[in-house]
Amino acid sequence: MDYKKIADLLFPNAKDVNQIESLYPKRQLKEGQVVSRFAPSPTGFMHIGNFFQMFISYNLTRVTDGIFFLRIEDTDFKREKKDAVNVVYEVLKKFGIKPDEYQTLDGVDIGDYGPYVQSQRLEIYQTYAKKLVAEGKAFPCFCRKTEGKEDVLKLRETKFNEDDEKEYDPCRNLTFEEIKQKIENGEKFAIRLKTKNTGKERIKFYDLIKGEIEAKANAKDFVILKNDGVPPYAFAHAIDDTLMGTTIVVRGEEYISSTPAHLELFDALGFKHPTYCHNPLICKIGENGNRRKISKRFDEEADMRYYFEQGYPETAVLEYLLNIINSGFEIWRANNPDKPWQEFKFGVKEITTVAPIFDLVKLNDISKNVIAKMSAQQVYENVLNWAKDYDKVFYKFLVENKEYAIKVFNIDREGPKPRKDIYKWSMIEDTFDYMFHKPKLLIEDKAKFNAFISSYLDEFTFPKEKEEWFAKVKEVAGKLGYALDNKQYKLNPEKFAGNVAKACEHIRIALTGRKDAPDLFELIQILGEEEVKARLKSSLD
């Protein structure tokens, strides 16, 4: 068979492989340096599973001082691409993940191994398709679903996979003349790999997480270039990861079953096998109690934008993911409570082999700790940033009342036991609602409450010291028959209007609407004299 002639006929304008390869010299790496990548298909949103996989790649390169690059896999995408790509960039940027090599949004390649966008690499894929045809390792296929060829296509998927039946494939052994005729007739062609396997072979490959895997070798003549000149995933993966010098391919474990086909392609192309690292997928426990993949359809937290909308600090989300990816992280964090996560030595051996279960409670816990370590100023900046996009009214308030808001965020923050109740920015307005809005009051004994508050209001002077403030509360309480000595009160509660704690509760309710607000003296200082008086007064109505 004249394969070379067929190749020239199919791809008259394709470049020479050497020409391409001279543009992608082998990377000069130091011992142990990892080159890995994030290769999302832009769909307009980012699934937490993709982010999870990205973060493994990122960490493997980070700890080896390696190279982390971003490759946009936009070959299978007919809809508006630009916006979808924007989402990828936006998410990475917000999380502070900067690839070493990528293509900027206005199309400039940063790095020597681009273009980093697959739709700009079609010429490269054609060059290699031509090479395979010229070597008799691939063939043009003119079958089309629309031409009543369904039977052939079905056979190809089933019978032709298994044994010599492949020889009956109507396209596998077309002659040069037959192909030429079809092309002259304007028929379009795809390119299929001509597998060398019969369906009986098995292969072994090594996976960094799963160890050695044995599987049935590929025996399908699968498509490597569609009839529009665009490659499906497998072909683009083999070529790009080779030319771009990826040393570890991190991807979801759903790709394990097609790895034998990918490896056959690497062999046919004369490429070295990459090292694979198939990560487990994040799960949830479904209604029926079984594990299921976390999914965009059922779980809002599957979309990375959820964390922005809710206002989780990015560090909290990253630390949570480190927790579920790497068994070493939790211990490291416990031993190094104040170090940034970037100092954690992420080891391949500690990557989880079982599917982690997504746990919002755990994320919230981590986030509470992250926020507890922030200063009031940092909290303010973070909340402001969040509110700018997600709560315009609150944003305006924060801008206009910066000093006040920082004081509020400082309540119970400094000191040995900082508050740990806040885990996302969207909850902070509610947490301190009594400081930002006039409280709604629920008063159990209105007569008693009014009696106390009106006397307290009459005698109110803005306190400078806590002792001074407390002395005044006691003074008013004493006059109204409250017990100043709690022991006395406990012995004969019916003899008193209440105790000092009860008196404080009246003030707390008047000022905040709550029985459990933080330190009253501190609140009074932040609210200021006028606001305190106004609140005391309006609580009487």
Name the amino acid, one letter, at 501: A
Residue 398 C-beta: closest distance to ligand GLU, Å: 38
Q: From the CB of 26, what's the least distance to ligand GLU, in Å?
A: 21
State how far the Cα of 429 lies from the Cα of 437, in Å rounded to an integer. Answer: 9
What is the rounded distance in angstroms from the CA atom of residue 315 to the CA atom of residue 399? 24
Q: Given the complex with ligand GLU, which of 73 and 391 has the nearer CB atom?
A: 73
Segment near ligand GLU (CB under 6 A); pick from 34-42, 321-329, 441-449, 470-478: 34-42
Rule CB under 6 A: choose which of 6, 20, 34, 39 binds ligand GLU. 39
In 138-222, DSSP assigns E strands to: 138-141, 190-193, 202-207, 211-216
Compose the 1-20 pattern: x for residues touching ligand GLU by CB under 6 A, - for all others: --------------------
- Distance, CA of 250 to CA of 58 (rounded, Å): 10
Task: Among 62, 237, 407, 535, indicate the residue that binds ligand GLU (CB under 6 A).
Answer: 237
| Three-state DSSP class for residue 464 | coil
Which stretches of 373-401 are DSSP H helices? 376-390, 392-400
CB of 10 to ligand GLU, least distance (A): 27
> Does residue 476 interact with ligand GLU by CB under 6 A?
no
Q: Judge whether 152 and 208 are in contact, CB under 8 Å.
A: no
The residue type of 484 is L
Q: Which of the stretches 24-32, 38-46, 281-289, 452-460 binds ligand GLU when contact is defined by CB under 6 A?
A: 38-46
Q: How many C-alpha atoms does 212 have within 13 Å on its Cβ side?
A: 3
Number of residues this chain uses to bind ligand GLU (CB under 6 A): 7
Residue 106: HSE in the Cβ half-sphere, 13 Å Cα cutoff: 0
In the list 41, 369, 450, 454, the residue contacting ligand GLU (rule: CB under 6 A) is 41
449: tokens are: 């409450």
CA distances from 129 to 16, 120, 125, 157, 196 (A): 11, 16, 6, 21, 16
Q: Taking the complex as a whole, how short is the minimal distance between the CB of residue 156 and ligand GLU, in angstroms?
A: 24
50-89 footprint of ligand GLU as x/- string (CB under 6 A):
-----------------------x----------------
Nearest approach in angstroms of CB 291 to ligand GLU is: 21
Cβ distance to ligand GLU smaller for residue 73 or 221: 73
| H or E element that contains 93 | helix 81-94
235 token code pair: 């072909």
Q: Which of 6, 36, 40, 116 binds ligand GLU (CB under 6 A)?
A: 40
For 90-101, give one letter per residue: b (16+ CB within 10 A) or e: ebbeebebebeb
Least CB distance to ligand GLU at residue 46 (A)? 10
Given 62, 156, 220, 251, the residue binding ligand GLU (CB under 6 A): 251
Span of 39-47, 176-184, 485-493, 501-509 interacting with ligand GLU by CB under 6 A: 39-47
Interface with ligand GLU (CB under 6 A): 39-41, 73, 237, 249, 251
